[in-house]
Amino acid sequence: MEAGTPDLIKLEDLEVGSGLTGRKHVLSLLVENKPGVLARIAGLFARRGFNIDTLTVGPTDDPEISRITLTLDGAVHPIDQVTKQLHKLVNVIKIRDMEPDQTVSREMALFRVQATVESRGEIVQFADIFRAKIVDVSRRSLTIEVTGSNEKIDAFERMIRPHGLIEMARTGEVAITRSRPDS
């Protein structure tokens, strides 16, 4: 190769993105089941100013490993930086940024709703439409269990709220990769 004529790239062709994806991300973490792991993750998010939308923790098939599923907003946080910081935690074994179309995700929620004699029928109908279950009944209220995507739960909440929402508890999403059609 002659001096001055190497196969160069042009500097002006080098580009770099903002790091923001603009969508919701579901991160699935496999972590060592050891004391303090959750505190390390929560502390990392707090001190780096990352805001978690939901976070769930639970066991996996391996008793030494737990799964943490967390969702955050890729329009606000550079997800790449979040995952790289998480990777630095020694107890974090694996991180998967779940692809929305290859992921099954579910959330469960419990709603306690005011239910008068007049409104009870309509609430039960809503519950049927959403394939929700009535899990507790009293003279003035109903407790309803709903499972589904968090959009479905948001929708159910909108339907039920006008009746008088007494209390709500949501689990946050858990997610798992879809199997390929041929497997």
Partner 1 sequence: MFYTRLPMRAADALCEALKAEGVEHVFGIPGGANLPTYDALYDAELIHIQARHEQGAGHAAEGYAKASGRVGVAFATSGPGATNLVTAIADAMMDSVPTVFITGQVRTDLIGTDGFQEADVTGITMPVVKHSFLVTDPRQIPTYIHQAFHIASTGRPGPVLVDVPQDLSRADIEYEPAAGAPHLPGYKPPSEGNIKQIRLAAKALANARRPVIYGGGGIVNANASQEFRDFCLSDRLPVTLTVMGLGAFPAPHEQWLGMLGMHGTRTANYAMDNADLIVAVGARFDDRITRKLAEFAPRAKFVHIDIDPAEISKNVPAHIPIVGDAGDVLPKLTSEYGRLNADPARLEEWWKQIGAWQEEYPLGYEDSEDSEIKPQRMIEALYKVTEGDAIITSDVGQHQMWCAQYYNFSSPRRWINSGGLGTMGFGLPAAIGAKVAKPDDTVVCLAGDGSLIMVCQEFATAAVHDIPVKVFLMNNGYMGMVRQWQELFWDGRYKSVEMGDSPDWVKLAEAFGWTGMRCTDKNEVEDAMQTALQTDGPVLLDVQVTKTENCFPMIPAGAAARDMVG
Binding site for partner 1 (CB under 8 A): 1-4, 6-11, 14-19, 31-32, 35-36, 39-40, 43, 47, 78, 80-81, 84-85, 87-94
Q: Amino acid identity of 155?
A: A
Distance, CA of 109 to CA of 155 (rounded, Å): 12
Sole residue written with tokens 């060592």? 32
Report the alpha-carbon distance of residue 82 to residue 79 in Å, rounded.
5
Q: How far is the CB of 81 from partner 1 (least distance, A)?
A: 6
Our CB check for partner 1 shows the closer of 17 and 63 to be 17
Least Cα distance to 135 among 114, 152, 155, 110 occurs for 110
Alpha-carbon span 135 to 70, nearest angstrom: 27
Q: How far is the CB of 175 from partner 1 (least distance, A)?
A: 20
Q: At its nearest, how many Å lie between partner 1 and the CB of residue 69?
A: 17
The closest of 113, 178, 120, 174 to 147, measured between CA atoms, is 174
- In sequence order, what are the beta bridge partners of 156? none
Shorter beta-carbon distance to partner 1: residue 52 or 89: 89
Identity of the residue, 93 or 110, whose beta carbon is nearer to partner 1 in the bound complex:
93
Q: Is the CB of 89 or the CB of 166 nearer to partner 1? A: 89
Q: How far is the CB of 102 from partner 1 (least distance, A)?
A: 24
